Amino acid sequence: MTLHVPSQLFRDDRIDAACELIQAALRDRQRELTGVRPPASERQQTYSDWLEHLAGLRGGSLYYPYLGTGVGKGSLVELADGSVKYDMITGIGVHVFGHGHPELVCELVRAAVSGGVMQGNLQQNLDTLRLCEQLVALARESGAAVEHCFLSTSGATANENALKMLFQARFPANRLLAFSNGFAGRTLALGQVTDRPANREGLPTTLAVDYLPFFDRHEPDQSTRQCLASLHTLRDRYPRQHAGLMVELIQGEGGYYTAPRDFFVALFEEARRHDIPIFIDEIQSFGRTTRMFAFQHLMLDSYVDIVSIGKMSQVCATLFSERMKPRPGLISQTFTGATSAIHAALFVLDQFQQRGLLGPTGRIAEIHQRFERHFKRIERDLPGTIAGPWGVGGMLAMTVFDGSAERTRDFLAELFARGVIAFPAGRQPTRVRMLPPLLVIQDQEIDAVCEIMEAVLRSLA
């Protein structure tokens, strides 16, 4: 049953008036943010002390010396050392609306007055219903047989919930198929799925995972054959023991590697033949391709049994088909999402509908192409310094210099110092990745970011 919960659940002119005042105060403060700004020298010592203090409290230093003031304007973010930078990683894809979005601020005000800081299984408001309804409708848009939606506060929890559903549905199967170079999250179970020894160092083995080799664009046919051959071998070695096949259609932490539709179809058909359900992890790819889901972008709708989303959705979710439905008792949470995060999620979905971001000629495609044109130009002007971009749509990656971890780290540190925040992904080569704020980034900001990148490449070449 589709309910169509009304979009405006809380309306009062006084709240609208308060929002206008808050927006005016925000705009005044944002007027100070006109572009990249270096740190204020008089704040350096205090800022270093704060960073050191935080590192001590959290038991390890931060990747970047990043402590925000909470103020920003679109792609620009202000740090507590007084600097202003272009945020091209947005908390790894979270702040798709950039910083200080005036309309979002009003949504958060509405969330504040709507009661209940957190929502959960004994405390959900109508906005939870509205969000679940919208997510299921989006997932089903071109035919996926997804009927249910369970919200959660992190990508890892959404994935854990998915794994529990798979194992319960396929009991007594107790193994999982996953991909080399994949990332799934950092819980005890997901640490086994993530293909990085450092992420599970010292941890007990909680899950038996069998890895399939991913697609290699240099050897398309051979790598597809190899993947299928591995699947056959594993199926023969462990008959009926695989509860599911977990896959990122665009490997995120692994370095933005993807594969053509044919690769996935060949694999998924084979999995289907052996009644192995398919679980697609879209924590990073949700809302970054030409469609809301990468499985829609690749036209793989008919294969989806479970899909998880996170990051730019603000609230994470596990969406699943009827046959994956858990029995009572398997899944429950005190917190499924903060009320403000649920309002922000609805805001993001609404903006995607309104702004023409999706589609082969949508804004996301334009953003990708503009970055691509700059990268190609820099590659021509400064041969050997940059290659790429790879990835899809709003997931952009490139390699700088020899792609070594050290040189990439030096590049990123210098880029940060000059006012652009990006992040590494993958190993051998290590890539530089960007998840720009797709709802707000302007063409001239893309140009400014690429100009800074070029200057850094020149200085380090």
Is residue 159 at the binding interface for ligand PLP, with CB under 6 A as the rule?
yes
Applying CB under 6 A, the span of 51-59, 281-289, 352-360, 383-391 interacting with ligand PLP comes to 281-289
Residue type for position 327: R
Is residue 98 at the binding interface for ligand PLP, with CB under 6 A as the rule?
no
Q: How far is the CB of 155 from ligand PLP (least distance, A)?
A: 2
Name residues whose C-beta falls within 8 Å of residue 334's C-beta, 6 or more positions apart in sequence. 118, 120, 121, 122
Q: How far is the CB of 314 from ligand PLP (least distance, A)?
A: 11
Nearer to ligand PLP, 89 or 457 (CB): 89
Q: Which of 88, 92, 131, 271 binds ligand PLP (CB under 6 A)?
A: 92
Strand 386-390 to 396-400 pairing: antiparallel
Identify the H or E element spanning 49. helix 44-58
Contact 372, 233 (CB under 8 A): no
Interaction with ligand PLP in 283-322: which residues (CB under 6 A)? 283-284, 310
Contact 409, 394 (CB under 8 A): no
For residue 156, report the phi and psi dihedrals to the nearest 5 degrees.
-65, -40
Is residue 154 at the binding interface for ligand PLP, with CB under 6 A as the rule?
yes
Size of site (CB under 6 A) for ligand PLP = 15
Applying CB under 6 A, the span of 32-40, 183-191, 212-220, 326-334 interacting with ligand PLP comes to 183-191
Strand 208-212 to 175-179 pairing: parallel
Identify the H or E element spanning 257. strand 257-258
Nearer to ligand PLP, 74 or 182 (CB): 182
Applying CB under 6 A, the span of 16-24, 30-38, 71-79, 154-162 interacting with ligand PLP comes to 154-162
Residue type for position 152: S
Interaction with ligand PLP in 252-271: which residues (CB under 6 A)? 252-253
CA Rg value for the chain: 22
SS (H, E, C) 307-351: EEECHHHCCEEEEECHHHCCCCCCCCCCCCEEHHHHHHHHHHHHH
Is residue 248 at the binding interface for ligand PLP, with CB under 6 A as the rule?
yes
For residue 396, report the phi and psi dihedrals to the nearest 5 degrees.
-115, 135
Applying CB under 6 A, the span of 102-110, 276-284, 421-429, 452-460 interacting with ligand PLP comes to 276-284
What is the rounded CA–CA span in Å between residue 345 and residue 367? 22
Q: How far is the CB of 308 from ligand PLP (least distance, A)?
A: 7
Contact 226, 213 (CB under 8 A): yes
Q: How far is the CB of 118 from ligand PLP (least distance, A)?
A: 17
Q: How far is the CB of 258 from ligand PLP (least distance, A)?
A: 12
Nearest 10 degrees: Cα torsion 330, 332, 333, 339? 140
Number of residue whose CB is nearest ligand PLP? 155
Nearer to ligand PLP, 178 or 400 (CB): 178
Can you read off the two tokens belonging to residue 443?
């063409």
Which of 172, 177, 133, 392 has its CA nearest to residue 305? 177
Is residue 83 at the binding interface for ligand PLP, with CB under 6 A as the rule?
no
Nearer to ligand PLP, 128 or 284 (CB): 284
Nearer to ligand PLP, 19 or 425 (CB): 425
Name residues whose C-beta falls within 8 Å of residue 418's C-beta, 6 or more positions apart in sequence. 36, 452, 455, 456
Q: Which of 72, 155, 429, 437 binds ligand PLP (CB under 6 A)?
A: 155
Is residue 90 at the binding interface for ligand PLP, with CB under 6 A as the rule?
no
Q: How far is the CB of 176 from ligand PLP (least distance, A)?
A: 14
Q: How far is the CB of 352 from ligand PLP (least distance, A)?
A: 19
Is residue 184 at the binding interface for ligand PLP, with CB under 6 A as the rule?
yes
Q: How far is the CB of 181 from ligand PLP (least distance, A)?
A: 12
What is the rounded CA–CA span in Å between residue 75 and residue 60? 28
Nearer to ligand PLP, 84 or 135 (CB): 135
Cα–chain center distance at 94: 7
Nearer to ligand PLP, 107 or 248 (CB): 248
Is residue 156 at the binding interface for ligand PLP, with CB under 6 A as the rule?
yes
Handedness of CA 403, 406, 411, 412 (dihedral sign): positive
Is residue 185 at the binding interface for ligand PLP, with CB under 6 A as the rule?
yes
Contacts to ligand PLP by CB under 6 A: 92, 154-156, 159, 183-185, 248, 252-253, 281, 283-284, 310
